Structure 1
Amino acid sequence: MIWASLLLAIVLLMFLLVPVWYRRPQDVNDQSEENLRLYEERSREVAASDLDDARKQALQLELDREFLAAAATAEQGLSSVDVRKRWPLALALLVVSLLATLALYQQWGAGDQLRATELLQKAAEAELSKNEQTELLALLEVSAQRYPDNAEWSYLLGRMSLNNGDYERADEVFSALLLTLPEEAVADRASLLSLLAQARFFGGGQQVDAGIYKLMQDSLALQPNQPQTRGLAGMMAFELGQYRDAIQHWQRLWQSLPDTPETRVLVQGIERAAERLREQGETVDLSFLQRAELKILVEVSDAVRAQLDPQTTVFVLARDPEGPPMPLAAQRLTLADLPQLVTLNDSQAMVADMNLSSAAKVTVTARISLSGEPIAQSGDWQAELTGVSNKHEGVLTLRISEQLP
């Protein structure tokens, strides 16, 4: 973009210089006119004199020579003196034009935004140096002030201020953005409410108050499936002595995650909150901490087996009958593997916050897929059980014998 601006400046400068470059100086024009007047006057005098024709011709020839010599002298003065004097002016105009173009580009152009974008892309791939972080923060500050209608620059400024520990500035930016953000921008408002709560929490020395916790609750009301917000909301509820709320937050988060060392730490927090409630004389049911698991014996009838290739794909699925069609847990086999005892659990979830533990009742399906895809299609063979508890004890049996129409 900057090279295009420079090229346009040069072209513009050429258009400006063309009429100046070829303009005859006023003093040369005046002298030429005076020479012509004198030449014509003296020519008339010679013609009106009493001299013979030979003498008149000699005098006229002399006048012609003097006039031509004067004209040549004027042209030489124009090319040797005036043109040389214009070179410094032309160069000065060129330099001024280029400098003005650069200054205007820096003032109104997208140089700051391009550099900020470059640094943001670099930050996504590697850690920025201290100088680059300082530069990026300054560029975001300038861009946010220059383009107040573009919320993206302000959002990035707030996020970087939060990451750099400038919680007061982050608070200012996020608060201002919330005032301008439309109500229908649900996801953006939820994110800003959570970030604003974090800025105030860390800015206040990690001290929780009802206002900060309310921001977290408002964020979760807009977008319930925010793992980080859910975890922080549980921690804030615990610090405020609202132990049952803390358990509810952490329970939902725990049910959306697989069994990992991080979730075991979460279980410890849930147990601590339950202990505090028991000290207050309340009862707490923590049976949900038992991971959901289903054992299914998958069989196929002899008639169906005889019709199909042994390598035909078989899917064993569990899904929420009241939720989306995406499975809560799934396992893939082949017809040759059957009969097979299959175990479905949270580790087989397709999406982190949609697993077997997140639905009390599920539909369990064993399907022979002729297309090799998990979505049921006409001609597939399957067996299905509905209304099964996600913590059903014992072994469920699914015998594939019916073909889908």
Structure 2
Amino acid sequence: MLWVLILLSLILFAFLLVPATRKMTDESIGQSEENLRLYSERCEELAATTDLSDDEKAALQLELDREFLASADASERSRNTGPARRWPLALALLVVVISGTLALYQFWGASNELRTTELLEKSSQVELTKAEQAELTERLAQAAAHDPDNTEWIYLYGRMLTMSGDFAKAADVFADILVQLPQEATEDRAATLTLLAQARFFAADQKADPEIYALLKESLELVPDNRQTQGLAGMLAFELEDYRAAVEHWKTVWLSLPDSPETQMLAQGIRRAAERLQDQGEDMDLGWLKRAQLMVNVDISAEARAAVQDTDTVFVLARAVSGPPMPLAVQRLSVAQLPAQVVLSDAQAMAPGLNLSNHEQVTVIARVSRSGQPVAQSGDWQIQKSPVSNREEKMIQLLISEQVE
């Protein structure tokens, strides 16, 4: 942007300089032509004179020649010294144009936004120093003030305030964003409500407040599957002694995660909330806290074995009966390993939220893939059983005996 403005300034300078130079050249050429015309007329008049001797004519002709040469030298000196006198003015004009361009560039705020973008890109690669973080926060504040309709700059400014620990000011920023966002921008409003609640929570020294909890519930009404919002809502509900709500919030998070130390700690919090609820005279079924797993015995028919190679891949998987087509759990074998017993569980989840424990009815499939790809193709051999409860305790028997058309 800056170089484009400078280039335009140079082009402007050229347009201003060329006419001045051209005018100066035209004046010099015109004066030379006039001197030549006068010299020619006087030479003709001298030649036509009859009352002078040849010596007198020669002397006068010599004088005319000297005057003409003197006028030609003067014109040449004027042509050579004219540009030198005009160059300082042209250079001064160039300085004024470029300085004005830079001043407007700074006024428009592009310089600040470029530096802000540079710091943001750097922060995505390495950790900024404290000085750079402070500079970024200040520049984001300037960008937000310069363009108050640009919610992206304001949002980033609020995030930087949160990171720097200025939670009260961050809460004010997110509250302003919420006013600007249209009602139909559900995801943006949900995210802003969560950030606003988080900022107010930390600004209040992490003390639970019904108004803050209400912000989180409003966010979840817009986007129910946000794990961060559900987790924070469960924590506030627990502090407000609404233990049933705390369990429901944390259950959503627990079911969306694979088995891990994080989910084990979450399960402890869920059990603690259930115990508090029991102290209040209410019971809650926590049977869903037991991770779902299916035991599958896989074998292959004689016909199918004769049609495949021992090195061909065997996929054993469970897929939700009603839900996304992506498998919830997958085990990979070879034909040479059959018959075999495998366990399908949350440990084989392929994506967050796609857990076996999260879908009550599943389809269990065993497939010999000639291409090595999990998607069924013509010529593959398979068998499937559906529907199967994700809490099925008996061994599931699968005999690969059907060829895919």
The TM-score bracket by the shorter chain reads 0.7 to 0.9
1:209 aligns with 2:213: no
8 Å CA contact retained: 1:317, 1:365: yes
Indicate the residue corresponding to 1:219 in structure 2. 219
Greater Cα shift, 353-362 or 137-146: 137-146
SS of 1:125's partner is coil
Greater Cα shift, 190-199 or 134-143: 134-143
Indicate the residue corresponding to 1:298 in structure 2. 298
8 Å CA contact retained: 1:319, 1:363: yes
TM-aligned CA deviation for residue 38 of structure 1:
11
TM-aligned CA deviation for residue 51 of structure 1:
6.2
Indicate the residue corresponding to 1:69 in structure 2. 70
Indicate the residue corresponding to 1:146 in structure 2. 146
Indicate the residue corresponding to 2:368 in structure 1. 368
SS of 1:394's partner is coil
Greater Cα shift, 51-60 or 211-220: 51-60
Runs of 4+ in 1 over 6 A off after TM superposition: 31-51
8 Å CA contact retained: 2:227, 2:252: no
Aligned mates of 2:85, 2:357 — CA distance in 1: 89
Aligned mates of 2:182, 2:108 — CA distance in 1: 28
* Distance change in 2, residues 1:70/1:217 (3 Å): same
Equivalent residue letter for 1:13: F
Aligned mates of 1:312, 1:46 — CA distance in 2: 118
1:177 aligns with 2:177: yes
How big is the alpha-carbon RMSD for the aligned residues of Structure 1 and Structure 2?
Answer: 3.3
Aligned mates of 1:138, 1:326 — CA distance in 2: 46
Indicate the residue corresponding to 1:349 in structure 2. 349
TM-aligned CA deviation for residue 58 of structure 1:
5.5
Q: Deviations over 1:164-206 (max 9, x none)?
A: 1222332233223333333343322222221121112112222
* TM-score, structure 1 as length reference: 0.87
Indicate the residue corresponding to 2:269 in structure 1. 269
8 Å CA contact retained: 1:315, 1:367: yes
TM-aligned CA deviation for residue 387 of structure 1:
2.9
Indicate the residue corresponding to 1:120 in structure 2. 120
8 Å CA contact retained: 2:225, 2:252: no
8 Å CA contact retained: 1:244, 1:277: yes
> What are the residue-to-residue correspondences of 1:48-197 with 2, within 5 Å?
52=52, 62=63, 65-66=66-67, 69-70=70-71, 72-73=73-74, 75-77=76-78, 79-80=80-81, 82-108=82-108, 110-197=110-197
8 Å CA contact retained: 1:364, 1:385: yes
Indicate the residue corresponding to 2:324 in structure 1. 324
8 Å CA contact retained: 2:109, 2:146: no
Equivalent residue letter for 1:171: A
Aligned mates of 1:369, 1:66 — CA distance in 2: 108
8 Å CA contact retained: 1:317, 1:329: yes
Aligned mates of 2:271, 2:402 — CA distance in 1: 47
Q: Deviations over 1:302-326 (max 9, x none)?
A: 2211221112211111121111111
TM-aligned CA deviation for residue 68 of structure 1:
5.2
* Identical counterparts, % of pairs: 54
Aligned mates of 1:340, 1:49 — CA distance in 2: 134
Structure 2 residue runs without a partner (length 5+): none
TM-aligned CA deviation for residue 103 of structure 1:
2.5
* Distance change in 2, residues 1:272/1:230 (3 Å): same
* Distance change in 2, residues 1:65/1:328 (3 Å): same
SS of 2:124's partner is helix
Equivalent residue letter for 1:201: F
Aligned mates of 1:132, 1:302 — CA distance in 2: 70
Greater Cα shift, 104-113 or 190-199: 104-113
8 Å CA contact retained: 2:119, 2:132: yes
Aligned mates of 1:314, 1:401 — CA distance in 2: 13
TM-aligned CA deviation for residue 281 of structure 1:
0.7
Aligned mates of 1:189, 1:250 — CA distance in 2: 22
Indicate the residue corresponding to 1:402 in structure 2. 402
> What are the residue-to-residue correspondences of 1:225-236 with 2, within 5 Å?
225-236=225-236
Aligned mates of 1:336, 1:171 — CA distance in 2: 62
* TM-score, structure 2 as length reference: 0.87
8 Å CA contact retained: 1:316, 1:364: yes
Aligned mates of 1:382, 1:43 — CA distance in 2: 118
Indicate the residue corresponding to 2:17 in structure 1. 17
Structure 1 residue runs without a partner (length 5+): none
* Distance change in 2, residues 1:71/1:347 (3 Å): same
Aligned mates of 1:45, 1:363 — CA distance in 2: 122
TM-aligned CA deviation for residue 211 of structure 1:
2.2
8 Å CA contact retained: 1:225, 1:353: no
TM-aligned CA deviation for residue 127 of structure 1:
0.6
Q: How many residues are paired up? A: 404
Equivalent residue letter for 2:205: G
Aligned mates of 1:393, 1:41 — CA distance in 2: 127
